Each structure stands twice: as C-alpha cells, then as structure tokens.
Amino acid sequence: MATVETALGPVATTELGPTLMHEHIVTRSPGVQENWPHLWDRNAILALAEQKMADLYRRGIRALVDLTTVDLGRDIDLIVGVARRSRVHVIVATGVWWRPQRYFSVHGVDAVAELFIRDITLGIGASGVKAAIIKCATDTAGVTPVIENVLRASARAQKATGVPISTHTWAAGRTGEAQQAIFAQEGVDLSRVIIGHSGDSEDLGYLRGLMERGSTIGMDRFGLDNYLPTAKRVDVIARLSAEGYAGKMVLSHDANCWTDMLSEDAKRRTRPQWNYNHISDDILPALRKAGVKDDQIDQMLVRNPRAIFEATPTRRR
C-alpha cells in the first residue's frame, strides 16, 4: 500500500481524496515575529486556522499541500498544531522560494540538496515530521545564480528521494520552461514536476509545451484575479480539458490561513475570493458550466494528486 508523509505521519494515498496541491497554512517574514513578538498571536492564528480547515473539510476537501518554505517562514510546530486540530491531511514541503536567505548563495548545490534530503528522510528540525514534496521558484528576475543553485539542489534531492518537485513561476515570462530545462539537465524525470502558477497564463502553447514535456501544471491561483481573471482561468482549463489534458493539471488557490503581509480585513476587501473555499464554492460549478466533466474534475482534484504522491519511492538511506 502506497503512503505519503503528512504533518501527523504517513497516510495511505487512498485516504487523500480531493487535494489542494498549492496552499499555505501560515506565511510570514522570517525573524520578524521572533524579534517583535507582539505581532504574533499564536493561539489566535491556531483558532483561525482551525475554523478555515473545518470549512474546507465540510466542502469535501480531504488534503492540502502546504508549500511554505524557510524563506516564507515555515513553522513546523505551528503546522503540526493546525494539523492536530483538523481532519484535513496536511502535506509539508522542503525547499526554498524565490527570496533565499544569504546562506543559499554561499553554499554549493550539493550542500543545499543535503538540507532538503534531510527534511525528507530524517524530518524537519527536531519535529520528526518528514517533508513529502520539494518547493523551488523562479520569478521576474529569472534564473539568478542563487536561484539556479536552489533549482539544481531541488533536482538532486528529488533524484535522491523520489519525492515530487512543485514550483513557483512567473508565467508571463514563461519561466517554467527554464525550470524544466535545468531539471532535465540534472536528470529529473519531468513527470515528477508540477510547474506551479501556470494558471496565471492563457498562452495555451506555453502550457501545452510544459505538459507535453511531461510535467503537471498547477492551475493554482484561483482568487488572485490580478494575475488573470477567473473567467479566463476557467476557460483555459475547459479548453485544455477538451483537448485531453485533464490528466496533467491540478487545482489550488495559493491561499493561507494567516499571513503577516495582509490582514484578514485587507484580504476580504482587496481579494474577496482568495480563500480555501473558492474552488469548491465557485470554480467547480463554473468548470461544469464550461463543459468540464465530473470525471475530469475528479482527475484534477483526486487522481492526479494521488498519482503524484504514489510515485515516490525512497531511493536513499
């Protein structure tokens, strides 16, 4: 029986059910709350997260992938605290986003890969919680030297452990192509890679190319209409599904329970649909109206995530 590591230990992949593949529990600025603790009400954040995860569970979502990395303020104890209060399985990531700390500039690819491998095989810090996916990123600056370091380290950690890679991209700059090129140079099977934020693009040629080279694409920023309006996101998925690509797409919001970048009031005011429930409440009905079949929705929400995590044999240690 295939299993996947979660914040509360391994679970059978058959238990994952509908899965949001690119979310966050909490994102924050590393070092800020530690030095100005009055900015940080941990109990209130836990209560807020418990409520949001319960709302998500009531809508039928059974698993969430938390792609919070060290430069996004990953707090494994907090993640575990939320998971213990929730019936939603929380899958945890290792890796680095597009704002790496200086450490990642001055240590070589293999040294950085070892950090990711340790999170996957031994556990994060002293928590014992094992990461089950690797996060890396390329944004508007492109493949800078430190970003290349992280991408290659992610590739080597993937090859050593078998867990998938999930990326952040700047879709307008087609940066997923550069990511795939580096992963291929490192010998990664591109079917083990999710090219994230692909849903920000309506360039079907770009999206088809990512999938034809083997990767799954993340249609994973629903609610962030400043990157691409909802109607266009839905239309892209409907058109690609009609072309037979439902087996290469996953869905998500890139939302969070709490962040130090934006208050809850500001979220509701400026991004009213950017929350965990938007796909269940609004997007799935819109996809059906656009001609996407229930089997294709099940493919994107259930079968694709399960397949991604089932193909993760540990190859080292």
Answer whether 13's CB lies under 8 Å from 2's CB.
yes
- The number of distinct structural domains making up the chain is 1
**Would you state the pLDDT for residue 311?**
84
Domain with 238 in it? 3-310
Q: Residue 115 domain-assigned?
A: yes
**Would you state the pLDDT for residue 312?**
54
- Please work out, in degrees rounded to the nearest 5, the angle formed at the alpha carbon of residue 27 by the alpha carbons of 119 and 164: 40
Q: Residue 23 domain-assigned?
A: yes
Give the Cβ contact number of residue 294 at 10 Å.
10
Q: Residue 315 domain-assigned?
A: no
Q: Residue 317 domain-assigned?
A: no
What CATH number does the domain containing 272 carry? Answer: 3.20.20.140
Q: Residue 28 domain-assigned?
A: yes
Q: Residue 316 domain-assigned?
A: no
Q: Residue 186 domain-assigned?
A: yes
User: Model-level pTM greater than 0.95?
Assistant: yes
pLDDT mean by block of 10 residues, the chain; 317 residues: 96 98 97 95 98 98 98 98 98 97 96 98 97 98 96 98 98 98 98 98 98 98 98 98 98 98 96 98 98 98 98 50
Q: Residue 65 domain-assigned?
A: yes
Provide the 8-state DSSP code for 90: E
CB-side neighbour CA atoms (13 Å) of 149: 21
